[in-house]
């Protein structure tokens, strides 16, 4: 192995048993060997540290945090300690699907245009949600800088789970990082900010299995409205930037009918179980682009109750994208 590996695999973990074992084994079984695996334990208490002490491979470096850095703080730490020019994030719950997964990542970067900053793998699949279906066919293999923000606005965090993204290391260490206060929407915030400076690669190859279980951050996180507040902060930035080109009122309407209504639905479920914090957070938040409270609660209620499959917001999403379709003729689709 070279003194500087070709790629750094970054695995943040906190109370990762039993899944971390499968994660690490999938890395060590890769047919491509010129890598380093950096694992940062975020003060686990479930025996994860005992397992990490059993790993005996010179390519694996283990860091043990005395204090929990938070999800994004732990990710930032790993990037700062990566020695390769390319990083592949692999969260402790997830694993490489085949022994050739890393080979595909390396092959992609060997052929990629130098202005691509990060790439999302596994962008495919079916969904009963119309806008997600549309996203799969709409996004090209390379998203230009001047088109990325509207894609983030309409489709949300389309790069997917952290584990599905490979990125040039310097883009996270040269004055950029994930916001540590955004434990639940920090990836969406960071990728959307970074997309103004670099192109995004989109690949359909599913090289990583992203595990869904009740203890994942996306399930337990944001139960008190934290994710909503973080989304408001990111979408406010996107709306301000996009208003120079797109109809601001239309953007704000889409936010309320789509993103706000989604959180409203979660808040109502939480209140039904006797937990009202989420709903109170949504009512108290007074970001300048938000509608008045009564308008938010009244006008978005139909979308909260009847838009689970995104039928009610689908046409508005297409309308927003179509307003700039002439500028992006390479995205000629029958469905626009």
pTM flag (> 0.75): yes
Q: Catalogue all structural domains in the chain, each as residue range(s) with its CATH number.
A: 7-123+158-218 (3.90.550.10), 222-331 (no CATH)
**What pLDDT shows up at residue 1?**
44
**What pLDDT shows up at residue 100?**
98
**What pLDDT shows up at residue 323?**
78
**What pLDDT shows up at residue 212?**
76
Quick check: bond before 18 cis, omega within 30?
yes
The DSSP string of 27-82 is: HHT-S---EEEEEEE-S--SSHHHHHTT---TTEEEEE-SS---HHHHHHHHHHH-
Please state the φ and ψ torsions of residue 88, each to the nearest 5 degrees. -115, 115
- Provide Rg for the chain, Cα atoms: 20
Residues 238 and 230: their CA atoms lie apart, in Å, by 13
Residues with Cβ within 8 Å of residue 76, at least 6 apart in sequence: 69, 172, 177, 178, 180
Query: What is the token pair recorded at 268?
Result: 């109502």
**What pLDDT shows up at residue 324?**
65
β-strand partners of 167: 87, 118
Q: Which of 117, 177, 204, 188 is nearest to 155 (CA)?
A: 188
**What pLDDT shows up at residue 192?**
98
Going residue by residue through the chain (336 aa), what tens digit of pLDDT does each one get? Answer: 457 999 999 999 999 999 999 999 999 999 999 999 999 999 999 999 999 999 999 999 999 999 999 999 999 999 999 999 999 999 999 999 999 999 999 999 999 999 999 999 998 767 899 999 999 989 999 999 999 999 999 999 999 999 999 999 999 998 889 999 999 999 999 999 999 999 999 999 999 999 975 655 555 455 678 999 999 999 999 999 999 999 999 999 999 999 999 999 999 999 999 999 999 999 999 999 999 999 999 999 999 999 999 999 999 999 999 876 554 444 444 444
Query: What is the token pair recorded at 27?
Result: 């890395």
């Amino acid at each position: 192995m070279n003194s500087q590996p070709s790629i750094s695999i970054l695995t943040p973990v906190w109370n990762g048993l039993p899944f971390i074992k499968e994660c690490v084994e999938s890395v060590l079984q890769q047919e491509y060997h010129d890598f380093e695996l950096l694992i940062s334990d975020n003060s686990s208490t479930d025996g994860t540290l005992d397992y990490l002490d059993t790993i005996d491979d010179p390519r694996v470096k283990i860091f043990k945090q005395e204090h929990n850095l938070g999800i994004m703080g732990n990710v930032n730490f790993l990037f700062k300690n990566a020695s390769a020019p390319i990083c592949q994030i692999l969260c402790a719950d997830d694993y490489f699907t085949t022994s050739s997964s890393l080979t595909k990542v390396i092959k992609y970067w060997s052929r990629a245009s130098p202005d691509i900053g990060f790439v999302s793998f596994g962008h495919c699949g079916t969904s009963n949600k119309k806008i997600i279906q549309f996203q799969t066919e709409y996004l090209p293999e390379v998203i230009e800088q001047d088109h990325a923000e509207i894609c983030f606005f309409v489709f949300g965090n389309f790069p997917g789970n952290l584990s599905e993204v490979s990125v040039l290391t310097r883009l996270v260490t040269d004055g950029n990082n994930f916001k540590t206060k955004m434990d639940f929407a920090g990836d969406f915030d960071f990728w959307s900010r970074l997309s103004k400076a670099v192109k995004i690669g989109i690949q359909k190859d599913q090289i990583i299995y992203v595990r869904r279980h009740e203890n994942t951050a996306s399930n337990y996180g944001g139960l008190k409205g934290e994710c909503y507040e973080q989304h408001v902060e990111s979408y406010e930035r996107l709306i301000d930037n996009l208003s120079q080109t797109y109809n601001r009122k239309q953007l704000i309407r889409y936010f309320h009918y789509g993103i706000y209504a989604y959180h409203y639905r979660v808040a109502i479920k939480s209140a039904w179980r006797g937990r009202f914090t989420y709903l109170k957070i949504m009512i108290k938040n007074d970001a300048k682009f938000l509608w008045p409270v009564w308008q938010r609660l009244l006008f978005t209620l139909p979308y909260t109750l009847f838009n689970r499959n995104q039928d009610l917001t689908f046409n508005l999403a297409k309308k927003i994208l179509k307003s700039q379709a002439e500028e992006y003729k390479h995205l000629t689709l029958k469905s626009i």
